[in-house]
Structure 1
């Protein structure tokens, strides 16, 4: 598919998916690409009147394995729990002691939040608002917190500078640190290699992790072998800055701040193996569906996209009117798809249509218009006739002149012959 800025859906994209999108303005939207009638329809799940400058969505994650709950964190110290199984869309708000929230996780009725100042705060969901959270210090700055889906008691954090590098914690043992990464050896000038883990991802288990950096590297760690990375890619291009990462199987998908989405093979990290096109802005978030075939992306060019992870084909693209910061994709059931389509039709249908259908027709008024002659047709016909007459009048003298010239031509030729004789 060629590059385009329009809302598109590939005809071969038949998977039943739904998207949840968080934006820079703080809006939380629901999109239904599986809908046949309105695949680009959007529904706001948050109150737009209550949003302010600090309502930017900074983190999104599913709260359980069944993906029936979404954890949403904002630039301020509030986090929201949205129940998707409830038709009314119930929401619960939890407040922490610091901001911004850069990662959320849920474990044993506790909500765990990664704070930008380097703290991991844990709150009981059933406790009072005045309860003090349990704090775990990871350093001075944190860019992202990620929970392992296979072992939900394991979380990983990463940030800027060497003291905030990749760390892994076990929540089941009071937040004990079980792994911390070690930087690469110094370069040829004996200078320390800069560290900035902007995003962290687990690769099919709690032991293998992948990180990407704003300084242009992608690293793969195995906590069972060594503290230093077992595989590494370092970009030689100037300005290559990785901002988002998601990993599954043998592939690591990374997005840059310049709008480049690339896939790396963990068995050969010298260069990327796939490049996904269609972006005009920096990529802020990536997420894979349950099968690992469909790769959803959020971009600062105000578009959400779905690519085929294997063939790199752009399957879906939708404009959401705001800079997209986070995105989640999940499979939708047939019953929920029908309900969502009906609600989307009611929202998308304008009020004017309902008013026009309700107003009765005036038969006398309609008959009057039916009996009126079509003035446009007569004018056009008369104008066409007048044009034909004018053309005929112009052509007539031209033809007479030509005939006179033809008749005079043989006489002039005889006179010239007589003179020659």
Structure 2
């Protein structure tokens, strides 16, 4: 697992005010050291979704390791009367020393799946709440949307190209999450440098407009990169653009890209034109506000790959995974929130996923303060991430991609539908 740069270590003030007031008050009344368990879960999936995808665990692992307070940060918190001197002294020495269990990246989750369990003293666990949720809510939302797009693409590769549609750091995280979900590459160079995500891209309409003619623009691109490139053919007239592309590159041109119009009609027309020009092996790439539904609608079109941007980085209409971080245990005793519509189940949970002998998943079993009775085909879902404050689990993005691929094969086929419906498998809690 590649490590984040020191320059992007977590900033401890990018959090909610009440995290520190709770630490301050608990230190004052002596409850800060009570041993607690917090859990991350979703009460429900976003409307229309049948599964969620866990992403961001690698970023979380690094975030916890680097969650530190410098003198200036603490002085500022004291000056603004967020905390007192006792809390400032405690935070100055902050190092997470507890345990964290997680669903590994690329795993599926459903309503009430115990995705993350954080154990330790109240103060050291509660101060991590915003860090945990901000990472996992974003990355899991992106990965969940991206996985649906990958399913809709039916094996055709997708390039993530949403960098200009979101915050600069969110763009890097989105590229990582979409790659875990099965995207082939990203346009984001920082994701390539930081995480090793494959990158790709050629030219935008501006490059064509820079030149006096479209043909001159294409010739310049071919002269620099050769025919193993992609020419954007819809700056002016697509039919003329394709003629110019083949005139500049020859019939060995790798691909053309269409970024506007009725993509189904345009793809069919482009394929006929390319074939008539002898460019039978030239691929067709389409882009332009694609989401899982528009990708699915292009299933019968002669499209070879897709570029998806805005919809990916905003979770295709669901920019958060709706995960929550709740206290479920204090000094070994279950505690639970009882408010209407927002209740929780007390006690730390253990989870397994049950399967038929054929490998099809049938249900997820979640047991509070115990272990599920083992059955053939059970998959233990949680793995240790931290033990005694030490990172004990890492995984590569390629391993996460493969995990998700296998999990999507394992759920009933109805669970892959884009239409609204129940979760792909039920979660049974005991």
User: How does the TM-score come out when normalised to structure 1?
Assistant: 0.26
Greater share of residues in helix: 2
Q: Which has the larger radius of gyration?
A: 1
User: How does the TM-score come out when normalised to structure 2?
Assistant: 0.26
Greater share of residues in strand: 1
